[in-house]
Amino acid sequence: MNKMARGLSYLIAACFEAVAVIFGAALAARYLDANHPQGFRWLALTMPVGFLVICHTFYVVLRAIVRMDKETSATDGSQGGNKRS
């Protein structure tokens, strides 16, 4: 598989993971509101934690894509640098 196609698939998977995290945070907040009532709504706590998880996921994915791009460009550059005219 092409490295950039793999990077795009990582990015698409991160989007699906973000939707799952938001949905899970909402479900967890609903469960906590029903079973552990507090003076505040649990959604105010679970959503920011979910967004932190999403930010971390996108950071890791983008870092992996940049690393794959550097490896690809380093491989292309080293082949051209070894040729003698």
Angstrom distance (rounded) from CA 75 to CA 46 = 44
As a whole-number percent, the residues of the chain with pLDDT over 90 amount to 58
DSSP conformation class of 39: S
pLDDT at res. 42: 94
Picking from 23, 8, 22, the residue whose alpha carbon sits closest to that of residue 53 is: 22
Contact call for residues 29 and 43 (beta carbons, < 8 A): yes
What predicted TM-score, i.e. pTM, was given to this entire model? 0.78
pLDDT tens profile 25-38: 999 999 999 999 99
Q: Which residues contact 41 (CB under 8 A, 6 or more apart)?
A: 29, 33
Q: Which residues contact 26 (CB under 8 A, 6 or more apart)?
A: 43, 46, 47
pLDDT tens profile 5-30: 888 898 899 999 999 999 999 999 99
Q: What is the mean pLDDT of the chain?
A: 87
pLDDT tens profile 36-65: 999 999 999 999 999 999 999 999 999 988
